[in-house]
Structure 1
């Protein structure tokens, strides 16, 4: 293990905490997490030894903000593309993958290694270590929000108004359910098929948006989804610029 990875492993051993909403989850084994970190950065898990998990997610598990077809970077909005999600808080997902076909984190990791990275079948031990590392990655906390995603008493008025819109007229909370801000089912929002409802935790730093990265800004993503909900529920509501500002303020705090 390189010096840099050893330092990261020490930090994990000292700072590992359950993801938000997982206060009753068992603490991960620091040694298993450290092994998972090493494997996460190991290109030998892929076919040909050309890429590692960190190629798309960095050593921190966050997204590299790129859209892929297989292992090839493509233009955002490519109909066949899949936007790289963050792994922060991934231990709290309902199901995994844009297709929503992996019911557990372990199955999702195994599928990425074997099907996308064209690597060998991972051992049970290595899979457990990788899953332990990913589960150790919490969402960053924000002083304006409680752990369940609701505004704290000291949140700005814009964040509070945005939350009210999120669970009210905007309809966002219908699919992005607190506290994980995702849902296990797949929905068709007119972007080319049914896809898993992604978590909105850390959403402000996960552009581009939607499964194919078609929307560059969070503001445009909010506008698109408001229109989808308004059409589906036949509300006839058109958001003002101020309402979009408030929704973006709330989402940016997640």
Structure 2
């Protein structure tokens, strides 16, 4: 990354600090394997027909569908909730579109009991499921450092996109590096206050926003630029070239 970009990152506090960089203990392989079994176990649901993998596949990624409860609905349904990826979910500070689950354990328990209508899971089952989900890393990209800043090998478009991300686009005010999310809930004019989602692997997680209203990542970026511009009371609009650069950076996350 260029010295100017690094300066910009430091100036807004986006670079990874040593404390944040400390690696968490590696999950126990035996517990992770047990968690994968539970992840695919439909017996955890009240109907015996659905499992965690129904919406997230065994890889923990999203199936790119929008749901009301366990029913698939059209993207953009105001009551719908877009299925997030679980890649990197162990790095979150709160969980769920409503941001109401303070721990991964409570989030998983809530999904089993409230959405899947299953029985109260045992502590052992929850521990295994948490271990499995924590074992799912976000994908790496050769153009980015571990903290999400561009590497020296990044294309000029990705580097320009990063400068916009932490600059005029205002993206970095909510999608804070290195997790690219924020624990608080924001109202961006889409029907309520929702947790700011992580942008890690975002290019693979369409449709976008809590209700899946936007199929195009470029359109989602353009919408959010407008939200930030309105908040800052500015008429600054992105050019097509700037949108292309922002898309290049965000797609590399």
For normalisation by structure 1, the TM-score amounts to 0.91
2:208 corresponds to which residue? 209
CA deviation string 1:138-171 (max 9, x = no partner): 0110000000000000100000000000000000
Answer yes or no: is the 8 Å Cα contact 1:207–1:213 preserved in 2. yes
2:107 corresponds to which residue? 108
* Cα distance in structure 2, aligned partners of 1:68 and 1:114: 16
1:147 corresponds to which residue? 146
Query: Pairwise mapping of residues 1-254 of structure 1 onto structure 2 (< 5 A)?
Result: 23-254=22-253
* Cα distance in structure 2, aligned partners of 1:23 and 1:199: 20
* Cα distance in structure 2, aligned partners of 1:234 and 1:126: 49
Answer yes or no: is the 8 Å Cα contact 1:22–1:92 preserved in 2. no
Aligned-residue offset at 1:48: 1.3
Query: What SS is found at the alignment partner of 1:169?
Result: coil
Aligned-residue offset at 1:181: 0.3
Aligned-residue offset at 1:94: 1.9
RMSD: 0.8
1:13 corresponds to which residue? none
Query: What SS is found at the alignment partner of 2:125?
Result: helix
* Cα distance in structure 1, aligned partners of 2:233 and 2:171: 15
CA deviation string 1:26-72 (max 9, x = no partner): 01100000000000000000001010000000000000000000000
* Cα distance in structure 2, aligned partners of 1:185 and 1:134: 22
Query: What SS is found at the alignment partner of 2:182?
Result: coil
Structure 2 stretches lacking a partner, 5+ long: 1-19
For normalisation by structure 2, the TM-score amounts to 0.92
Structure 1 stretches lacking a partner, 5+ long: 1-20
Aligned-residue offset at 1:22: 6.1
Tell me the matched-pair count. 234
Aligned-residue offset at 1:235: 2.1
Answer yes or no: is the 8 Å Cα contact 1:94–1:182 preserved in 2. no
